[in-house]
Amino acid sequence: MKNKGYDAIREQVYSDRLPNGMPVYVIKKSGFHKSYAFFATDYGGADRRFKFGGEWIDTPEGVAHFLEHKMFDTEDGNALTTLSANGAQPNAFTSSGITAYHFESTEKFEENLKILLEFVSVPYFTKESVEKEQGIIGQEIRMTEDDPDHVVYYGLMKLLFRHNPARYSVAGTIESIAEITDETLYRCHKIFYNPSNMCLVVAGDVDPERVFEIAGSVLDIPRGAVPERDYGLPEQREPAGTRVDAQMEVSEPQFLIGASAEIPKRGEERLRREIVGELAASLVAGKSSPLYLRLYAEGLIKPDFIDAFETTAGIAYTLFGGSSPDPDRVLTEIQSELRRVLTPEAKPELEALFTRIKKAEYGRIVRSLDSFSRSCWGAADAYFAGYDYFTAADTMNKTELAEVLDFIAENMKPENLALSIVSPRAAETAAAL
């Protein structure tokens, strides 16, 4: 295996490819008792239309998430139960862009790693078990429909994007999951759960060669093709709508403000764009910004306020949000700040602020490396995007204010911001008064 050291962040990463082409990464963490494994496929909720064997295939909403649920089933029982009984803490998730299976353990790591690789690579479904799962996932979907975070997020996604499937819930709908069969799951597993579309990342005080050996013995399967994805017609920078408001059982309005951004390319350019986007959001309304401090002092935003730049499944967007007694006022203030930071008068103040923000973001990146789960997830996500996750801190140091201001001018135009709100129900508001 290749051994690459990152002296500035004190990380040691071993890597190699199995004979079938699948990459294996081991983040060496000497002296730690726990170990962590992260097995991921470049397949998420937005991958509903794809090309395989020269044929375009359309699938219902929610297949990737449904498949994640069912992958724990084995002929001998349930892998989740087996791993838990073996001292591991297993879990899985599906996002718009990827699906991952992972566990943490302080003992029997090699045995647990074999179990993880085996159940993810060997599907086992029956018609009866799929029908039973439809009821379970149906309950989950009903729960998300009552979750304000879920409602406000997908409200914003539908404002920002007209065509990309990421605008729909990863879990699908009651109607869409009713269309999923065992044949659907077997087909999608064959297409997306192949070595050319997956990666394994391990972190801990483990033997890298031994990890590679175990992966090679369990995953002795042929490579496959990487499917071509179709995310719909090209998106416009202008939002499909500027505001959506839902009423739910919340004590105070929750909101998200966002703007779609240019889709970043793969490789180092993708990494740089993600860092520039994060810095742009922080410069405008991050916790060190004048706007954040003023809005917080006025009670317009709370400690739960977030600023972020996200990329997934062919889309990119800037995000601000939290809870507020007056989300419309927050929107107006952010729009004003976007105009102000691009004026020549703001330049001297911004240069000092940018230096502070960059140091804070650099520290955040370095601290995140202490988290095994975050490091493994980041490394896998970066591999699928074509860049080296462990060069992010160095790229951060090389980023200039001019790049960030150009990003704001191009991707955060005030008129392109959209607002999604979940407000208290009218009866609850009246009762509070």
How many other C-beta atoms can be found within 10 angstroms of the C-beta atom of residue 349?
A: 12
The pLDDT, as a whole number, for residue 363 is 93
pLDDT tens for each residue of 165-196: 999 999 999 999 999 999 999 999 999 999 99
Rg of the Cα trace of the chain?
23
Tell me if 234 is assigned to some domain.
Answer: no
Q: Identify the domain boundary among 195, 229, 263.
A: 229
Q: Identify the domain boundary among 229, 262, 288.
A: 229
Tell me if 38 is assigned to some domain.
Answer: yes
pLDDT tens for each residue of 79-95: 999 999 999 999 999 99
CA–CA dist 344, 33 (Å, integer): 53
Tell me if 113 is assigned to some domain.
Answer: yes
What would the two tokens of residue 292 be? 């954040």
What would the two tokens of residue 119 be? 């159940």
For residues 258 and 215, membership in a common domain is answered with: no
Q: In this model, does residue 428 exceed pLDDT 70? A: no
Catalytic residues: 68
Q: In this model, does residue 432 exceed pLDDT 60? A: no
Task: Quote the strand ranges of 205-282, DSSP E.
Answer: 228-229, 243-248, 254-260
The pLDDT, as a whole number, for residue 264 is 84
For residues 212 and 274, membership in a common domain is answered with: no
The pLDDT, as a whole number, for residue 21 is 95
Domain range enclosing 196: 2-229
Q: Which long-range contacts (CB under 8 A, 24 or more apart) does 216-220 make?
A: 216/18, 216/19, 218/114, 218/117, 218/118, 218/121, 219/18, 219/20, 219/22, 219/117, 219/121, 219/195, 220/20
**Residues with Cβ within 8 Å of residue 425, at least 6 apart in sequence:** 247, 248, 249
For residues 220 and 122, membership in a common domain is answered with: yes
Tell me if 237 is assigned to some domain.
Answer: no
pLDDT tens for each residue of 285-307: 999 999 999 999 999 999 999 99
The three-point CA angle 125-73-212 to 5° equals 110
Can you tell me which residue has the tokens 């007056």? 326
What would the two tokens of residue 126 be? 């029956």
For residues 223 and 285, membership in a common domain is answered with: no
For residues 178 and 200, membership in a common domain is answered with: yes
CA–CA dist 238, 161 (Å, integer): 9
For residues 192 and 256, membership in a common domain is answered with: no
CA–CA dist 86, 80 (Å, integer): 10
CA–CA dist 304, 368 (Å, integer): 20
pLDDT tens for each residue of 335-384: 999 999 999 999 999 999 999 999 999 999 999 999 999 999 999 999 99
Phi, psi of 356 (to 5 degrees): -65, -45
Tell me if 235 is assigned to some domain.
Answer: no
For residues 349 and 408, membership in a common domain is answered with: yes
C-beta separation of 199 from 378 below 8 A: no
- Element of type H or E holding 421: strand 418-424
When divided into structural domains, the chain yields a total of 2
pLDDT tens for each residue of 227-240: 999 999 999 999 99
For residues 215 and 273, membership in a common domain is answered with: no
Q: In this model, does residue 430 exceed pLDDT 90? A: no
Phi, psi of 371 (to 5 degrees): -90, 115
pLDDT > 90: percent of the chain: 96
Q: What is the largest CA-CA distance in the chain?
A: 69
Q: In this model, does residue 133 exceed pLDDT 50? A: yes
The average confidence (pLDDT) of the chain is 95
Task: Please report which residue ranges of 301-425 form alpha helices under DSSP H.
Answer: 327-340, 347-368, 372-385, 392-397, 401-411
The pLDDT, as a whole number, for residue 427 is 53
What would the two tokens of residue 93 be? 């998730």
Tell me if 222 is assigned to some domain.
Answer: yes
Distances (CA, A) of 87 to 104, 110, 403: 9, 12, 48
For residues 250 and 201, membership in a common domain is answered with: no
- CATH code for the domain of 350: 3.30.830.10
For residues 382 and 319, membership in a common domain is answered with: yes
For residues 284 and 220, membership in a common domain is answered with: no
The CA dihedral of 314, 316, 322, 328, to the nearest 10 degrees, is -110
pLDDT band, residue 433 (cuts 50/70/90):
very low
For residues 265 and 341, membership in a common domain is answered with: yes
CA–CA dist 94, 381 (Å, integer): 13
